[in-house]
Structure 1
């Protein structure tokens, strides 16, 4: 019992000494995990941005040559899968380089946002804006080149399709040349007949116009004669008056006869 108690009394002082050591080790591990990696400096980021810009410029020039070659191959009807894959790979590389340049510019902006780590000056701000403008120009140029390649490929495909359709049409209609020639002769005959009918119609119209002018001349002469001889107007007016009087007399006689017939019919 005494030995056991002594063992307990000896082991009890050692336990407080282990706890601080364990805590210090855990604290050191947490400090190592929480400590961030050191960011790149301004100079290294600037060199990286320039390198990416040079690579993008070379890739864009190469992609433009790909576009011209694509148009020539499409016009010559020489499809090449390897060539298309190379062009697609070139576009993918340029896209990746643009993304890397964007990330580099963002890192440069973050460096300038920490004035305690790196003292900023107007030249650094100007350089950052210049890199942003270059990125914008390269992105715009990349989209323009892609659009031009796509438009050239679509145009060449359309031209090839039209040429193929014309070739097929000519090949299929070679046997029907005689039939089309006969139909053409019939159409020309119909046109000639229509022209003859139109000429006859114009001639008839001219005759009718001539007769109308002749009748109008007669009327003019009659009016002139009546103007020179005033007695004719009086004679014509008397004739018209007598005709009206005769008409009234005939109407009265007919009415009287009808009335007498009705009365006779009623009495009987």
Structure 2
């Protein structure tokens, strides 16, 4: 029954993994496309924005929808692994399967974060191009205050991205420690059941200990008698 339950949850985790992998791949393609376009001139950005407006849904809307779906899928896979797959694992092979799914989730999370950083950098470049175009239209140079704000925002975002990666690693370590604790708990329970199924084992150990103590006392008495007889024989 436990094996069937584990296999059922495993199939669900595999389905969630494939969905998350597909969404992350789509988001990476979108981020790469926007990053390539943002590396060109501001005129390319203006043409891209005009095409987005004429075509209906913008790439920003697509990215926002994908971000929401990816985060929801990551949370669903995390809950499936932690709350259902890990408790159902009883054998060493099943525990290795749980570990593999944790590693898959960690890798997909890292891929998503890298793609998200690229997307944010492309958006920042777009804002810079917009500011440059506005400044040229007015016959003045680029606004230094806006430039400073964008640089400051970039530094803050990089710090947040680093903090998110550290938190993800901490969550992965915590999950592994939880799995190890569950394994130790199951091993302790197994030892307890073995001790329960062997009646009188504690009494047997005590009897062996008392027998050994009695033998030690007899041996000590014999040695003392021999020493006493030897001394008596030498001095008489």
TM range (shorter): 0.3 to 0.5
Indicate the structure (1 or 2) with the bigger Cα radius of gyration.
Answer: 1
Question: TM-score of the superposition, structure 1-length normalised?
Answer: 0.42
Query: Structure with the greater relative contact order (CA < 8 A, sep ≥ 6): 1 or 2?
Result: 2
